[in-house]
Amino acid sequence: MKVLSNVQTPQQQAQNWLAQQGLPNTQLTPLSGYTNFVFLVEASKPPYRSVIRLANHSLAAGLCPLATHPAHSIKLHQQAEQLGLAPALLGLDEQVGIMWLADAGDRQALQTADFPAIRELLERLHDSGLDWSLPDGQAPDIASLNLLTGLSHAPHSPLVHAAKRLLQLATERDYAHLPLVPVHSDLNPGNWLQDGQRWWLIDWDYARLMVAEWDYASLIVEHGWDKDKAQLLAPRIALPDLAWFCAAFALLSWDWHVQRETDQAIKKQAIAAYWLALS
């Protein structure tokens, strides 16, 4: 796979690529991102504000989907854009792993007053019928039961007992046969943009076929909401089921952050314990 020069910084690489697209002399401001490089782009000509994402090829294989499967990640965003859920894609490079996005506003905290609009957005995605199969041909992990099984056998993991308990409950409740729908699956605060009129979603790299409950769990866990807010967001999901998915998401998120050595692992471990007690 073609990679960007290791001599240049990601910011320099982004500026050079944008210049090749006819947008020279840009000012780039880094935005948060665990798996890829993200910059706010400000220019003296249209588009005056935009966002560019670059794959991080220095991570281990599989840890940055935009680096491992760039064409697939870009296709996911394009299909979400067609549903009116994602900002327009202004330019791309499938070989390197670059996505240049239209400005869709700023990151803002979600409030309970936003919950009806959020549910409408998620239902539009879940009802879309998109076939978001995994790029490597693997069968979908309906409720992340395969990942939980792996974690339940992980040596020296402090969460083995929690993973085993979740698997037991999943068997009792038959989660393995829940219907599959396309989900975003990474609804952290940084992926919600507000342009003053509506919400947009970015970073579709982990989108796939799973159960609809997974998106609600992702949203709840990543925003650190308690059961009262969770039930306001997803009143149609019984609390024990919602708690199970929140606990499972938090547990797998803990493992995700441990692998990337971020500072969020301990927080996710505590969140998993909170929701497991309600499951």
Interval 226-276: pLDDT, tens: 999 999 999 999 999 999 999 999 999 998 888 778 888 899 999 999 999
Q: Please report, rounded to a whole number, the percentage of residues in the chain having pLDDT higher than 70.
A: 97
Q: Is residue 90 within a helix (H) or strand (E), and if so which, with residue range? A: strand 89-93
Q: Whole-angstrom distance between the N-terminal and C-terminal Cα of the chain?
A: 44
Q: Please classify residue 35 by burial: count the beta carbons closer than 10 Å to its beta carbon, then call 0-12 exposed, 13-18 middle and 19+ buried.
A: buried
Alpha helix locations (H) across 140-181? 145-152, 160-173
Tens-place pLDDT, residues 83-121: 999 999 999 999 999 999 999 999 889 999 999 999 999
**What is the average per-residue pLDDT within 29-47?**
90
Q: Which of 43-57, 154-168, 192-206 has the lowest mean pLDDT?
A: 154-168
- Residue 1's pLDDT is 46
C-alpha span between 21 and 26 (Å, rounded): 12
Average pLDDT, the chain: 93
- pLDDT attached to residue 6: 55
Give this prediction's pTM.
0.91
Cα separation, 36 vs 128, in Å, equals 27
Question: Model confidence at 136, in pLDDT bands (50, 70, 90)?
Answer: confident
For 279, residues 6+ apart whose C-beta sits below 8 A from its C-beta are 165, 166, 169, 240, 243, 244, 247
